[in-house]
């Protein structure tokens, strides 16, 4: 009766990415740009460990030109929907090019498999994060970076699963590109976010924001039977915060690195001819807006939905976040506010379709997007101050998002100060 097939996504517009003007920090670069295809933001030794699904999916070759499936469709997309006023050399390297563009995967999160015996299907939920990276291949410095995200619950008939050596790899390939739903693919999200990219002559000018640290409760019982390790959840919060900032405020943001304090990152590019990864060492610019995320943890409470009927339970979940932003140039804290989110939903008592990790991550992501939306949208600040409530009769759930009472008193002033500290768009 009650399933989690739709996973009750609450985040604002997971796939309907809005169009916004190009971000101009300096004079536009009008020369050729090297296109280097798909890549990974990690060392070669960590690609397999950090991307057990994305790595093999991104290495699948197509017959016509020995190129990967991912790169072929990336190039095809940019040919059919070119970037305005940019000479993007899709064939590889161009003589005299001062900038290079790459699609860099930054993290993947596998929330497991849920079997629905009523219609003989299996449900997979995989989150994937990446970056649209523009860098100077001569100085090896990242010029601009815009986050990209793909979320899709995959419902697969069990009879279909046996046709593939690894069904999750097949599903990730479909997430890259598929003809049935092309507007909701990873490649389309990448193309949408390119419209927020900054193609400029000079190195990253203006404010350089970065999620520098994620602090989560030091309670081991929180992660008992949770579904994600403590470190993996911390990485999820960092990646989600980066995406929420870039998406809601329409500003580039330095990629989040799970190892704190790294000043150098590595772009690993797969060479389809040699079947090896090529390393491009790049410097990350030093941030001058230090964004820290404090996760307050979560709590689940269960009670019978109908008295005398133990088959269905009502679940209440609550959690909180604190976001702190430090202007490193001025050496002052310009934003420090706390927020809470709650969700009530129905669940089968056997919890076969229940995933605490996906519920917590879903609410964390939804709250982060609302926090950064409130920074740039004054009318939404008023709603978040009063408390935003969402009710879904169809899926039998409700959720609320709110700034805490103490933080609401200074919310408008601090939001305006943070917004004024960001580069104009």
Closest CA to 35 of 92, 81, 77, 86: 92
pLDDT, tens digit, for every residue of 377-401?
999 999 999 999 999 887 788 999 9
Q: How many CB atoms lie within 10 A of CB 146?
A: 27
pLDDT, position 237: 97
Taking the model in full, what pTM does it have? Answer: 0.86
Q: What's the CA gap between 332 and 321, in Å, rounded?
A: 21
Contacts of 201-205 spanning 24+ positions with Cβ under 8 A: 201/26, 201/27, 201/28, 201/29, 201/98, 202/25, 202/26, 202/27, 203/136, 203/139, 203/141, 203/143, 203/285, 204/25, 204/141, 204/142, 204/143, 204/144, 204/252, 204/285, 205/25, 205/26, 205/423
pLDDT, position 354: 72
What is the strand order of the sheet 209-215 is part of? 209-215, 289-306, 309-327, 332-348, 397-403, 388-392
| Burial of residue 388, with CB atoms counted within 10 A of its CB: 0-12 exposed, 13-18 middle, 19 or more buried | middle
Beta-carbon contacts of residue 90 (< 8 Å; ≥ 6 apart): 35, 75, 78, 79
pLDDT, position 17: 25
Q: What's the CA gap between 190 and 131, in Å, rounded?
A: 8
Task: Quote the tokens at residue 171.
Answer: 């599903």
Average pLDDT for 94-112: 87
Q: Report residue 81's pLDDT band, with 50, 70 and 90 as the boundaries.
A: very high
Give, in order, the Cα–Cα distances in Å from 330 to each of 324, 326, 327, 333: 15, 9, 5, 9
Q: Report residue 375's pLDDT band, with 50, 70 and 90 as the boundaries.
A: very high
In the predicted structure, residue 74 carries a pLDDT above the cut 80: yes
pLDDT, position 425: 56
Judged by average pLDDT, the poorest of 66-75, 136-145, 286-295, 340-349 is 136-145
Segments making up each domain of the chain, as ranges? 8-15+26-205+254-284, 209-253+288-425
3-state SS assignment for residue 34: strand
Beta-carbon contacts of residue 353 (< 8 Å; ≥ 6 apart): 2, 3, 4, 114, 116, 123, 347
How far is residue 380 CA from its own chain's centroid?
Answer: 22
pLDDT, tens digit, for every residue of 316-372?
999 999 999 999 988 999 999 999 999 999 887 666 667 889 899 999 999 999 999
Q: How many CB atoms lie within 10 A of CB 269?
A: 17
3-state SS assignment for residue 188: helix
Q: What's the CA gap between 287 and 165, in Å, rounded?
A: 43
Burial state string for 364-379 with b = 16 or more CB within 10 A and e = fewer than 16: bbbbbbbbbbbbbbee
In the predicted structure, residue 233 carries a pLDDT above the cut 50: yes
Tally helices (H) and strands (E) across the chain: 11, 13
pLDDT, position 4: 38
In order, the DSSP letters of 294-354 are EEEEEEEEEEEEETTEEEEEEEEEEEEEEEEEEETTTTEEEEEEEEEEEEEEEEETT-TT-
Give, in order, the Cα–Cα distances in Å from 248 to each of 2, 5, 368, 391, 417: 33, 27, 10, 23, 17
- Contact status, residue 399 vs residue 48, Cβ threshold 8 Å: no
Beta-carbon contacts of residue 60 (< 8 Å; ≥ 6 apart): 68, 69, 70, 169, 173
**Under CATH, which architecture does the 209-253+288-425 domain have?**
2-Layer Sandwich (3.30)
- 8-state DSSP, 166: -
């Amino acid at each position: 009766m009650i399933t989690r097939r739709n996973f009750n996504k609450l985040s604002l517009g997971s796939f309907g990415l809005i169009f916004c003007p190009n971000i101009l920090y300096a004079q536009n670069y009008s020369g050729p740009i090297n296109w280097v295809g798909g890549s990974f933001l990690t060392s070669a030794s960590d690609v397999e460990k950090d991307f057990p699904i994305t790595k093999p999916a991104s290495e699948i070759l197509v017959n016509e030109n020995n190129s990967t499936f991912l790169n072929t469709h990336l190039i095809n997309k940019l040919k059919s929907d070119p970037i305005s006023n940019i000479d993007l050399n899709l064939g590889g390297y161009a003589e005299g090019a001062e900038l290079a563009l790459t699609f860099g995967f930054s993290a993947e999160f596998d929330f497991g498999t849920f079997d629905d015996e009523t219609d003989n299907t299996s449900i997979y939920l995989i989150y994937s994060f990446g970056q649209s990276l523009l860098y100077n291949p001569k100085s090896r410095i990242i010029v601009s970076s815009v986050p990209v995200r793909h979320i899709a619950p995959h419902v697969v008939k069990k009879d279909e699963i046996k046709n593939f050596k690894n069904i999750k790899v097949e599903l990730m390939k479909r997430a890259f590109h598929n003809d049935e739903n092309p507007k909701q693919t990873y490649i389309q999200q990448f193309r949408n976010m390119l419209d927020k990219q900054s193609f400029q002559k000079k190195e990253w000018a203006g404010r350089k924001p970065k999620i520098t640290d994620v602090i989560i409760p030091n309670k081991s019982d929180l992660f008992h039977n949770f579904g994600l390790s403590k470190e993996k959840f911390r990485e999820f919060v960092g990646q989600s915060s980066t995406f929420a900032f870039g998406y809601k405020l329409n500003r580039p943001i330095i990629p989040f690195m799970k190892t704190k304090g790294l000043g150098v990152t590595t772009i690993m590019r797969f060479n389809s001819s040699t079947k090896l990864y090529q390393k491009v060492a790049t410097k990350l610019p030093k941030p001058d807006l230090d964004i820290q995320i404090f996760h307050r943890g979560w709590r689940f409470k269960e009670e019978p939905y109908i008295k005398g009927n133990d088959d269905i339970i009502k679940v209440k979940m609550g959690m909180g976040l604190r976001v702190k932003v430090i202007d490193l140039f001025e050496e002052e804290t310009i934003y420090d506010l706390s927020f809470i989110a709650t969700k009530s939903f129905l669940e089968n008592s056997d919890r076969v379709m229940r995933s605490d990790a996906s519920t917590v991550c879903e609410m964390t992501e939804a709250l982060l997007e609302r926090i950064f939306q409130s920074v740039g949208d004054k009318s939404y600040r008023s709603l978040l101050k009063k408390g935003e409530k969402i009710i879904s009769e169809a899926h039998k759930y409700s959720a609320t998002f709110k700034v805490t009472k103490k933080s609401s008193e200074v919310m408008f002033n601090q939001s305006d100060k943070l917004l004024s500290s960001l580069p104009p768009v």
